[in-house]
Structure 1
Amino acid sequence: MKRTSTTVLTALVLAAALTACSSDDGTDAAPKKKPLPAPSTPSPAAVADTEATASGIPPEPDAAKKLGYLRALNNIDPDIVHGKEDKAVDRGRNQCQTIHNFPEDKPKQAGMAELRFTSPSHPGGFGKLKAAQIVEAVHTNLCPTF
């Protein structure tokens, strides 16, 4: 009889333990994990803005920005563009990186513009005054958020 009592008692204890472990209704049960939200895909414009902010080089300008930028350069001196619009845009985008990396250093920005913006007639650049104007045209038209 002692053996039967022990077996029944052990079975009851095990049953109680198993029931307690599998119960979700009790207050001791671990909370269920919520599924993670599906990752959202950023828009191409958001990706371009993030890359521009990180690298300092903005994305290719749209037609209106490009036109405004080229007009600004031609108003400074038509020889800055000298018929090579895409090259002028590339130089401007690279100048944006200088503006981004040295936001408070106007002499550095102008010095880099003087080195960067050259032409066959001006292989040494366009001088300090025009270089500062070029920086302003680049900043206003290509990378105003820097």
Structure 2
Amino acid sequence: MRTRTTTALAAAVLLATLTACGTTPDEVTPAAGPKASATPTLTEEQRAEVREAAGLPDEPDAATAAEFIKALDAIDPRIADGKNDKAISRGLNQCSSIKRYPDDRDKLVKLALGRFTIDTRLPEIATPETGGKIVDAVRKHLCPDF
């Protein structure tokens, strides 16, 4: 019984694969209409509205970004680990938490340690002190108005 089921399943998968060969998405779904763009185009104003609704500040300029990375490196160079774009993105996301929980420092520290993956990558420095320094660097450089 098991052999028949496995054989039948394998045949069905093979048939489905062979049937799909040589067709285009338009042939499969002709009534779908024009293809939608994979990424919607937003105006700068719409982008600003989305960022504000998400609690994210504007992207930092090059000088501000460099100062933020320098502040993280002063805490521990392994935090950014040369992945500056990723560190800045995480910092901007931390800003949304700062905006949401401005008076809950313990929560912000915990979120920063997780967001920057300190708790998993660098458990030896996953302390409230390190998290606090990250929160302070984020506030100072990326979202001073929060």
What range is the shorter-chain TM-score in? 0.5 to 0.7
How do 1:53-64 and structure 2 match up within 5 A? 53-64=52-63
Instruction: Name the amino acid aligned to 2:104.
Output: D
Per residue, is there more helix in 1 or in 2?
Answer: 2
Q: Partners in 1 of 2:53 and 2:124 — Cα distance?
A: 30
Instruction: Name the amino acid aligned to 2:54.
Output: S
Instruction: Name the amino acid aligned to 1:127.
Output: T
**How much has 1:54 moved relative to structure 2?**
2.9
Q: Partners in 1 of 2:84 and 2:123 — Cα distance?
A: 17
Check 1:124–1:114 CA distance in 2 against 1; reply closer, same or farther (3 A cut): farther
Q: Partners in 2 of 1:65 and 1:133 — Cα distance?
A: 17
CA RMSD in angstroms comes to 2.4
Runs of at least 5 residues in structure 2 that lack an aligned partner in the other structure: 1-43
**How much has 1:60 moved relative to structure 2?**
1.6
- Tell me which residue corresponds to 1:71: 70
Structure label with greater radius of gyration? 1
Instruction: Name the amino acid aligned to 2:103.
Output: E
- Tell me which residue corresponds to 2:24: none
Q: Partners in 2 of 1:143 and 1:55 — Cα distance?
A: 13
- Tell me which residue corresponds to 1:97: 96
**How much has 1:118 moved relative to structure 2?**
2.1
Contact 1:61–1:142 (CA under 8 A) maintained in structure 2: yes
Runs of at least 5 residues in structure 1 that lack an aligned partner in the other structure: 1-43
- Tell me which residue corresponds to 2:23: none
- Tell me which residue corresponds to 1:88: 87
Check 1:86–1:125 CA distance in 2 against 1; reply closer, same or farther (3 A cut): farther
**How much has 1:78 moved relative to structure 2?**
0.4
Q: Partners in 2 of 1:126 and 1:86 — Cα distance?
A: 22
Q: Partners in 1 of 2:101 and 2:124 — Cα distance?
A: 22
| Count, aligned residues | 103
2:105 equivalent to 1:106: yes
Q: SS at the partner of 1:67?
A: helix
Check 1:88–1:125 CA distance in 2 against 1; reply closer, same or farther (3 A cut): farther
TM-score normalised by structure 1 residue count: 0.62
**How much has 1:117 moved relative to structure 2?**
1.1
**Identical columns (%):** 42
- Tell me which residue corresponds to 2:127: 127
Instruction: Name the amino acid aligned to 1:59.
Output: D
- Tell me which residue corresponds to 1:116: 115
TM-score normalised by structure 2 residue count: 0.62
2:141 equivalent to 1:141: yes
